[in-house]
Structure 1
Amino acid sequence: MGSQIKAFVFDVYGTLFDVTAIKKECEELYPGYGEKISQSWRAKQVEYFLLRQLMGNYATLQSITRQALKYVLKEQGLEPDEKNEQQLLEAYLRLPLYPEVADVLSQLKDKKLVVFSNGSHDMLDPLIEHAELQTLFAEVLSIDDVKQFKPAPTSYEYALEKLGIESHEVLFMSSNGWDVSGAKNFGFQTAWINRKNLPVEELDLPPDYIFKDLNGLLKWQ
């Protein structure tokens, strides 16, 4: 199947960019709480966009990220501070790449590389520009255009329409098991970037490929 790939499509958060790195800024602003805030913030962010998808109550990921942060700070018994919250939200626009990402993408630059994320463009565009990756991607696709969060089939349908190819000609990559399952369910070829050495989700939708990081993609170089 691999020889049929016409587009290499990448999730962003946790796949290209290290969302756990936010714990450094969290710790600086809330000493002793950095790890707790960063982990709970990401978990609540995912929970909120999945809940909004189920409820049919859309908001951008930027808005959801702010709401999730507010909740977590209250959960930890920390005083609200608009300045600190804004500083953390801005740090989300400067998340670091995983160490191998820039090199792997550069080696695959003759392929059609595409970003497809639940992030809205007000988050995605500054993040990608800060990492100086914008010239490597043919397109940066956001579900904000259809207001349907992954793993809803409608979100992957939107990406496929923008790509103008067949579903089996897409290799979709994510570090998030739920995203890989959604893409596989839709009909994409999938590569799970299993950075945390987790078991495969028990959804009867196993990934086509499993790699510990993006270096596994160099088999298509």
Structure 2
Amino acid sequence: MATTTFVFDAYGTLFDVSAAARELAAEPGREDFAKHWPKVAEVWRAKQLQYTWIRAITNAHTDFWEVTQNALDNALDVVKLNAPEHWELRERLLQLYWELSAYPEAPKALQELKDAGMNTAILSNGSPKMLDGAVQNAGIAHLLDDVLSVEDVGIFKPAHQVYELVTKRFDCQPEEVIFVSSNGWDAAGAAGFGFRSCWVHRNSGEQVDRLPWKPEFVLTDLKFVPDLLRL
């Protein structure tokens, strides 16, 4: 069956989740934070994902903004920057998260897919307002047919109800969809649903997850995604 639709995860795939901490570290007067930003970015992202999984399996859903704040608080605890005198730093990080930078190759890859007549969309754990902020900041709204959020089903990925949002929105079969994610577990979950799955493997030290489902494609960069049209 021919491919009709390309769907992208948002955070870590189209948008650089380390950008908020990295950009804050570069601001004047942030020398103390600059020593800690890589650890903050690492723990913030790890806890963000862990909290979504725990909430999904315990039926304790909340929106992704609350999860993001909880995860940041954990990260700041780790580097001992969560005392009242550091609250301004916390608020600045959260502000920057609404303005995450897109990976530089993302717009061109999306444009090539649109030029080829493909449906394009985001499917994300993010809340609609968060995703709208990121999409508008990146200037890619015109390259997307839709931005789909787990808030429509009230459970985080990799629940099948989330991936089903795509087939309902585009009235298509799972095998018509190529789903692109930089998160190995997400690429696996999408493959388990029936999508043709693509893992954007940005971290060379990370291995394919030992799960029942594997991504059909493994790429190092979004710029190679349009090449999948020829496969």
TM-score by length of 1: 0.93
Equivalent position amino acid for 1:21 in 2: A
- Partner Cα separation in structure 2 for residue 98 and residue 152 of structure 1: 26
Tell me the equivalent position of 1:68. 71
Query: Which secondary structure state, in structure 2, belongs to the residue aligned with residue 94 of structure 1?
Result: coil
- Partner Cα separation in structure 2 for residue 14 and residue 75 of structure 1: 22
- Partner Cα separation in structure 1 for residue 87 and residue 59 of structure 2: 29
- Partner Cα separation in structure 2 for residue 108 and residue 212 of structure 1: 18
Question: What displacement does 1:217 show?
Answer: 1.8
Query: Which secondary structure state, in structure 2, belongs to the residue aligned with residue 108 of structure 1?
Result: helix
The reply to whether residue 40 of structure 1 matches residue 43 of structure 2 is yes
- Partner Cα separation in structure 2 for residue 119 and residue 98 of structure 1: 17
Structure 1 contact 26–33 (Cα < 8 Å) conserved: no
Mapping of 1:1-221 within 5 angstroms?
Answer: 4-27=2-25, 28=27, 29=30, 30-78=33-81, 79-80=83-84, 81-109=86-114, 110-197=117-204, 198-219=206-227, 220=229
- Partner Cα separation in structure 2 for residue 137 and residue 31 of structure 1: 35
- Partner Cα separation in structure 2 for residue 26 and residue 34 of structure 1: 8
Equivalent position amino acid for 1:90 in 2: Q
Question: What displacement does 1:26 show?
Answer: 4.7
Aligned-pair Cα RMSD in Å: 1.5
- Provide, for residues 44-101 of structure 1, a one-character-per-residue CA deviation record: whole Å limited to 9, x for no partner: 1111111111111111111110111112212222224433222111111211111211
Equivalent position amino acid for 1:218 in 2: P
Give runs of ≥4 in structure 1 deviating > 4 Å: none
Structure 2 contact 148–165 (Cα < 8 Å) conserved: no
Query: Which secondary structure state, in structure 2, belongs to the residue aligned with residue 19 of structure 1?
Result: coil
- Partner Cα separation in structure 1 for residue 129 and residue 175 of structure 2: 30
Equivalent position amino acid for 2:99 in 1: R
Structure 1: which 5+ residue stretches go unaligned?
none
TM-score by length of 2: 0.89
Deviates more, 1:132-141 or 1:74-83: 74-83
- Number of corresponding residues: 219
Deviates more, 1:14-23 or 1:129-138: 14-23
Query: Which secondary structure state, in structure 1, belongs to the residue aligned with residue 74 of structure 2?
Result: helix
Structure 2 contact 21–93 (Cα < 8 Å) conserved: no
Question: What displacement does 1:21 show?
Answer: 2.1
Structure 2: which 5+ residue stretches go unaligned?
none
- Provide, for residues 96-119 of structure 1, a one-character-per-residue CA deviation record: whole Å limited to 9, x for no partner: 111211111112223111110010
Q: Give percent identity, aligned residues only.
A: 37
Query: Which secondary structure state, in structure 1, belongs to the residue aligned with residue 72 of structure 2?
Result: helix
Equivalent position amino acid for 2:19 in 1: A
Structure 1 contact 26–37 (Cα < 8 Å) conserved: no
Equivalent position amino acid for 2:189 in 1: G
Deviates more, 1:47-56 or 1:197-206: 197-206
Question: What displacement does 1:208 show?
Answer: 1.0
